[in-house]
């Protein structure tokens, strides 16, 4: 079976999300994580949480692509510098800006030209001068070290081929004592092979997801401390997919068991006193 290289995977992501940037939220909500090549009979999203009640919410910036509400848990303070990884059309960046205020700064990083263009247009319409968007690779961010008080990200790092490098870069750009809050998709236990492949087709965000324990271990190995799961929710696949691979009894057991696909929101801090790579530069 052919395996894509990291660069090929990045190009696939760039192409897919470049197309998504040109779609409406309604289209993305009905096409599971923005995918347009599958699940045409499904008319709801299984990943995204509702942002509409949060301060700073901008409908034009909400493409329905997230899997959590990291900004709600990010402990942002007035005047903070916040970096949003995979900022898309700017949704989380604008919510963060409502907290950090005029004295703070918000920087969005995204891999896709169309997303950057859409986010910049949204910021221009809002008249925000302290929110900027930069095109860049999360594995090699176009940012100096030690500039961020807070990093947020919403259902993006699972799409990054080299997650160790992505978290190493997150560690590098954070100030000592800074922290992140990241929502992402992880796996718990071994899913039946056919079911996992079908889930990846149904919800593009599942592709690239790794085991929850492995994900948390990567964060620990990057040098972070006080690693905490702030929120966890099971992603419920519809019965029409489950019944293709599982019996009725197996579906019941699967839904009630611990094995499955989960959205987690993870918090971690860059220690004030540390000498890991990216800390004492």
Domain boundaries, the chain: 6-190+199-236+263-269
Neighbours of 276 (CB within 10 A): 15
Cα–Cα distance, 161 to 176 (Å, whole number)? 26
pLDDT tens, residue by residue, 147-159: 999 999 998 898 8
Considering only 45-49, 91-95, 152-156, 201-205, which range has the smallest mean pLDDT? 201-205
| Straight-line distance from the first to the last Cα atom of the chain, in angstroms, rounded to the nearest whole number | 42
Which CATH number is 6-190+199-236+263-269 given?
A: 3.40.50.150
Cα Rg, the chain, nearest whole Å? 18
pLDDT of residue 195 exceeding 60, the answer is yes
pLDDT tens, residue by residue, 18-47: 455 455 445 444 444 444 344 333 333 556
Per-residue model confidence (pLDDT) at position 278: 59
Q: Which residue has the higher pLDDT, 123 or 47?
A: 123
Q: Which of 174, 191, 261 is nearest to 226 (CA)?
A: 174
Q: What is the dihedral of CA 236, 242, 246, 251, to 10 degrees?
A: 40
């Amino acid at each position: 079976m052919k395996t894509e290289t990291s660069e090929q995977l990045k190009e696939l992501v760039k192409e897919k999300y470049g197309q998504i940037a040109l779609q409406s939220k309604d289209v993305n909500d009905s096409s599971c994580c923005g995918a347009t090549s599958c699940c045409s009979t499904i008319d709801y999203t299984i990943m995204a949480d509702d942002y509409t009640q949060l301060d700073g919410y901008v409908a034009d910036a909400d493409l329905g692509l997230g899997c959590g509400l990291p900004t709600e848990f990010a402990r942002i303070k007035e005047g903070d510098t916040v970096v949003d990884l995979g900022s898309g059309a700017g949704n989380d960046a604008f919510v963060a800006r409502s907290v950090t205020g005029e004295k703070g700064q918000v920087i969005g990083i995204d891999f896709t030209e169309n997303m950057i263009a859409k986010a910049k247009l949204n910021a221009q319409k809002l008249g925000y001068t302290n929110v900027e968007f930069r095109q860049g690779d999360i594995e090699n961010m176009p940012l100096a070290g030690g500039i961020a008080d807070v990093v947020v990200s919403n259902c993006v790092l699972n799409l990054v081929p080299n997650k160790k490098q992505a978290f190493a870069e997150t560690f590098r750009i954070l100030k000592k004592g800074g922290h992140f809050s990241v929502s992402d998709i992880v796996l718990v236990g071994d899913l039946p092979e056919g079911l996992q492949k079908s889930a990846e087709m149904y919800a593009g965000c599942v592709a690239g997801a790794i085991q929850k324990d492995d994900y948390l271990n990567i964060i620990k190995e990057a040098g972070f401390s006080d690693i905490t799961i702030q929120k966890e929710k099971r992603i419920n696949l519809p019965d029409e997919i489950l019944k293709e691979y599982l019996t009725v009894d197996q579906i019941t057991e699967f839904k009630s068991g611990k094995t499955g696909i989960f959205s987690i929101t993870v918090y971690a801090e860059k220690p004030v006193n540390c000498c890991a790579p990216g800390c004492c530069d």
